[in-house]
Chain A
Amino acid sequence: MIGDGAHIEFIAWAYIGVAVLTVALVAYVVWDSLRVDARLKALDKAGIRRRSDESKR
């Protein structure tokens, strides 16, 4: 169990920094993925799609 002794601020800042940057990284990866999906959907809506996709329709 973690105590409330010396250097607690260093431990806290280490975990806060890791949490913030990790969450930001995950958010960026998800946002980038959604952005590309939206672009492909916009192309599809405009009738621009791969020939192999057209043959499946």
Chain B
Amino acid sequence: MSVDTVKQPNWFSRLAHPGQFLAWSRYLIWPLAIATFVSFAIGLWFAFLNSPEDYQMGDMVRVMYVHVPNAWLSQLVYGVMAVSALGTLVWRHPLADVANKAAAPLGAVFTALALYTGALWGRPTWGTFWEWDGRMTSTLVLLLIYLGIIALWRAFDDQLKAGRIIAIVTLVGALNIPVIKFSVDWWNTLHQPASVFTASGPKMPGSILTPLLVMMLAFTLLFALLQVVRMRTEILRRRAATLSRQAALSAPSTGFAGPPPRGGGIGAAK
């Protein structure tokens, strides 16, 4: 094969190579951390000191500033995982299953927080912490899906094989996302209909919308930061696992004893 016919990887493939990802993503961590901290500081200042009471809910509207961002992230993170699942199954992208594994615990925590803050918001406004209606039940199902995916990742020693199986599970679970989104339209529910992401624009005054958007930005930046750090950690974990395995197989006299840890696949010695 002549040199001219060798297909060169495009810029995206080069950037997404695990080694390249480790190299450039390190420069994202501190800017993301600072942006997250500043966004939270501004968002909390708005939430507590510079936003009005709601004319119906009073101060309870302030719970919305932590509930809606977590509810938004519970679905966004799953969307990231679903795209990663496609990356694993369709494009066999080396970072796709890393992204899926890194995001699952983050999504589980954001979903749990959405349910927790929703329950605390619901008690004074609806008279109950919990109701088995479409929105709340489908969000609980989402949390169970996250926990199932985390359990699956821990159940497999072969992380590449796990990645393909979990990608299928993730895509099947993605059917729940439109159910969450449209549950308030499909069924009678205590939960209010969409009021931020609507075809006609947000249905709330700017004085309440501004802190909400800033808090959503802060939580989204936090997710981006934690996702980058967790992806880097997962790549390095697999690299360590591969090195341990190779050392155990080739040089038992090196003094490196003990069973190799879980992991393997990308980031391995080449």
Which of A's residues lie within 8 Å of B, judged by CB?
Answer: 1-3, 5-8, 10-11, 13-15, 17-18, 21-22, 25-26, 28-30, 32-33, 36-37, 39-40, 43, 46-52
Contacts and interface: CB of A to CB of B under 8 A. Distances in A.
B109 to A, nearest CB: 5
B72 interface: no
A43 B269 contact: no
Contact of B226 (A15, A25, A48): A25
B232 A13 contact: no
Chain B interface size, under 10 / 10 to 19 / 20 to 34 / 35 or more: 35 or more
A51 B268 CA distance: 10
Contact of B243 (A8, A10, A48): A48
A21 B109 contact: yes
Interface string B120-132: 1101100000000
A18 B117 contact: yes
Interface in B253-270: 254-256, 261, 269-270
Contacts of B66: 14-15, 18
Contacts of B59: 2-3, 5-8, 11
The binding surface of chain B is classed by DSSP as helix
Contacts, number: 110
A21 B243 contact: no
A47 B253 CA distance: 12
B60 A10 contact: yes
A26 B240 CA distance: 23
A7 B66 CA distance: 16
B48 interface: yes
B270 A43 contact: no
Contacts of A26: 222, 226
A33 B70 contact: no
A6 B63 CA distance: 13
Interface in B170-205: none
A10 B59 CA distance: 10
